[in-house]
Amino acid sequence: MEEINELHGQEQTKTSDEAIMDIGNYPVMQAALDVLTILGKRNKVVLKSRGNSIPNAVAVANIITEKMLKGNSQIQKINLDTVDAAGIGSMTSTIEIILTKN
């Protein structure tokens, strides 16, 4: 079963044990607090980002694992990819960072 919620302008998709969160150009600390809230309920969060918002996703992952949940969370995996940008005709980088709670 899959639910889609709107959380501070970021799309969040929840499955049984994990949540997927698209990180855009939103305030980094607000996104980190949203991820912290999700990790209170779930064991895994997948941060997805593309293009110019990739540094925001990396910053959120670092804030969670190094500051907020230091020793209680970890980056399980990082996936990098390049896809065709919709209608632009150029390539766009994407990142997927999987955070888990210990």
Looking at residue 26, what is its pLDDT? 87
Looking at residue 45, what is its pLDDT? 95
pLDDT (tens digit per residue) in 26-35: 899 999 999 9
Q: What is the mean pLDDT of the chain?
A: 84
Domains with residue ranges and CATH for the chain = 3-101 (3.30.110.20)
State if pTM tops 0.95.
no
pLDDT (tens digit per residue) in 49-67: 999 999 999 999 999 999 9
Q: What does 38-79 look like in DSSP terms, one character per residue?
A: HHHH-SEEEEEEEGGGHHHHHHHHHIIIIIITTTTEEEEEEE
